[in-house]
Chains A and B, each alone.
Chain A
Amino acid sequence: MDGLIRKMWWKWLGVALLVYVFIAGMLIPLKPNVPTVNYEDAQPGEALEVEVIGYNTSFTQQEEDTRALLCFPDSLKPHIVAQSVEVFDDRRAKFSFQLPADLPTDAAFLNLSLIVSGGEDGTYIRPDAVRLENSGEVAVSGTGATWSHEEISGLKDLNRMTFPARRIIEETIRNTYFHVALWLAMVILFTAAAIYAIRYLRYQKLAEGGKLLNVIKGLDVRQRADIWSLALTEAGLLLGMLGLITGFLWAKYTWGSYWSGDIKQYTTLIALLIYSAYFVLRITFREPEQKGRISAAYNIFAFLLLIPLIYILPRLSGNSLHPGNAGNPAFGSQDLDGTMRAVFYPAVIGWTLLACWLASLRFRMSHVEIEREEMWERETIDSEGQMESKVIS
């Protein structure tokens, strides 16, 4: 770190990565999908008309080759194909199905998934699109339609870069590059801070053993480790606070309220409070060595608590809204697909580098402060010495 502190390339790299993240993260559209599905209840054997309102869809450009299918959940078999597709505009279309006379299931009802496929928008699936009640009887007035048990074939691929479309989350999936990446950057910074704290204790031991420590630019390596630890913790805490506040906003519009009392919200708040106490601790001790030793030990202690608090406890708990906990998948293949990865990983590196830049400014300032103090002390001692010599003479 000490050699890089005045170099600019890594700072510009961080900024460039973040610029890329902002542009790609905001401009790449969501995958076309149909969030709104309206239909009138229909019984087996009757006609079913499904009206959809799409998001990012372009029905008019694929009017000729739009296909719609209703299929059983999970296996996508058996299924029926829409007999006609009526397009109103890019976002509105009506699919007409003929329901078969029977419903080949024992369940009381069935939530069918809607698959829409076309040359322009590719293929997308809307789970729980249509709910059918199962009376258990075969309708008499059959229309001749039957469930097809064959594999669905001829589905179109989407040849554009898109982010996954999720219900409820919708466009806020982009927060992955801001909120989620901030947390990862915070963990990286706290890890670095803990490493410097360990270094401090090691140098301290060496110094106590009578070894002379290396001095770089007027500060010995032990002092440097102490300030690095402080600067990195401060920048990490800033990221953590921002992660918590952005989490409030995101939670409000996806979970329903700013604070849901979720296990992950509690444990991260506790972890951040533990880290805040680090700064209180630092101002309590005046004597530099005592201050350094106790705050380094506390930093390591806080880091050892941070990992179980934010990673292990929420996972062990039986109930959490937050992805990645209590059995919820965090980064499944659906949640973080290839396109998202191409933005997410640069986001983590970018935020980390930016935070390191802030930390390095903080380091340099503390450096100047300490030098100033030492100079001041020397001057006072010198002037006192002069005064004493005057008295003696």
Chain B
Amino acid sequence: MLKPIITTCLLLFFQVIYAQANAEVPVDFMRSLGKIYVVVGVIVIIFLGLVFYLWRLDRRLTKLEDQNH
């Protein structure tokens, strides 16, 4: 019972996507919308890099605090 519903939903979903991309060269997600997701990816990488730095700083501070007691 569930299977046909999911299939129908998926078909409808892809129909919508294809209707939007109609008559243009089919592109993958990263290349869609003028490759804007490459820029999004770059920003996410930089954000993760900054978080990584904070995480390391956090660990060193924890060590420092532990020495205190």
Return 23 A-B CB contacts under 8 Å, by A number: A22-B43, A26-B39, A36-B25, A53-B24, A55-B34, A170-B35, A172-B39, A174-B39, A238-B50, A246-B42, A249-B38, A249-B45, A250-B38, A250-B42, A253-B31, A253-B38, A358-B53, A361-B57, A362-B57, A365-B57, A365-B64, A368-B64, A372-B68
Number of B residues contacting the other chain (C-beta, 8 Å)?
A: 26
Chain A 25-63 near chain B by CB (<8 Å), digits 1 or 0:
010001000001000000000000000010100000000
Q: Do residues B25 and A246 form an inter-chain contact, with CB atoms below 8 A?
A: no
**Given known contacts A53-B24, A365-B64, A368-B64, is B34 in contact with A242 (CB within 8 Å)?**
no
Interface check B6, CB cutoff 8 A:
no
Binds B, one of A111-119, A175-183, A324-332: A175-183
Q: Among residues 32 to 69 in chain B, which have CB atoms less than 8 Å away from a CB atom of chain A? A: 33-36, 38-39, 41-43, 45-46, 49-50, 52-53, 57, 60-61, 64, 67-68
- Secondary structure at the A interface, as helix, strand, loop or mixed, is helix
Interface check B9, CB cutoff 8 A:
no
- Cα A36 to Cα B23 in complex, Å, equals 11
Interface check B11, CB cutoff 8 A:
no
Interface check A241, CB cutoff 8 A:
yes
Q: Do residues A178 and B61 form an inter-chain contact, with CB atoms below 8 A?
A: no
Q: Do residues A372 and B34 form an inter-chain contact, with CB atoms below 8 A?
A: no
Q: Closest 9 A-B residue pairs measured CB to CB?
A: A171-B34, A170-B34, A171-B36, A242-B49, A246-B42, A172-B38, A174-B39, A253-B38, A170-B35
Interface check A215, CB cutoff 8 A:
no
Chain A residue with minimal CB distance to B30?
A253
Binding site for B on A (CB under 8 A): 22, 26, 30, 36, 53, 55, 169-172, 174-175, 178-179, 182, 235, 238, 241-242, 245-246, 249-250, 252-254, 354, 358, 361-362, 365, 368-369, 372
Q: Do residues B46 and A246 form an inter-chain contact, with CB atoms below 8 A?
A: yes
- Cα A362 to Cα B23 in complex, Å, equals 54
**Given known contacts A242-B49, A365-B61, A369-B64, is B42 in contact with A175 (CB within 8 Å)?**
yes
Q: Do residues B39 and A175 form an inter-chain contact, with CB atoms below 8 A?
A: yes
Q: Give chain B residues whose Cβ lies under 8 Å from the Cβ of A179.
A: 42
Chain B residue with minimal CB distance to A249?
B41
- Cα A147 to Cα B16 in complex, Å, equals 45
- Cα A235 to Cα B54 in complex, Å, equals 11
Interface centre among A30, A171, A361, A368 (most CB of B within 10 A): A171
Q: Give chain B residues whose Cβ lies under 8 Å from the Cβ of A36.
A: 24-25
Chain B residue with minimal CB distance to A53?
B24
Q: Do residues A249 and B42 form an inter-chain contact, with CB atoms below 8 A?
A: yes
Q: Which of B33, B35, B45, B52 meets A246, CB within 8 Å?
A: B45
- Cα A53 to Cα B60 in complex, Å, equals 55
* Additional 16 contacts, C-beta under 8 A, given A170-B35, A362-B57: A22-B43, A175-B39, A175-B42, A178-B39, A238-B50, A249-B42, A250-B38, A253-B31, A253-B35, A254-B35, A358-B50, A358-B53, A358-B57, A365-B60, A365-B61, A372-B67
Q: Give chain A residues whose Cβ lies under 8 Å from the Cβ of B49.
A: 238, 241-242, 245
Q: Give chain A residues whose Cβ lies under 8 Å from the Cβ of B45.
A: 242, 245-246, 249
Q: Give chain A residues whose Cβ lies under 8 Å from the Cβ of B42.
A: 175, 178-179, 246, 249-250
Interface centre among B42, B61, B64, B68 (most CB of A within 10 A): B42
* A291 nearest CB across to chain B (Å): 18
Q: Give chain A residues whose Cβ lies under 8 Å from the Cβ of B67.
A: 372
Q: Give chain B residues whose Cβ lies under 8 Å from the Cβ of A253.
A: 30-31, 35, 38
- Cα A36 to Cα B34 in complex, Å, equals 12
Interface centre among B31, B35, B43, B64 (most CB of A within 10 A): B35
Chain A residue with minimal CB distance to B40?
A26
* A253 nearest CB across to chain B (Å): 5
* B67 nearest CB across to chain A (Å): 7
Q: Give chain A residues whose Cβ lies under 8 Å from the Cβ of B41.
A: 249
- Cα A30 to Cα B64 in complex, Å, equals 49
Chain B residue with minimal CB distance to A168?
B35
Q: Give chain B residues whose Cβ lies under 8 Å from the Cβ of A175.
A: 38-39, 42
- Cα A170 to Cα B37 in complex, Å, equals 11
Chain B residue with minimal CB distance to A373?
B67
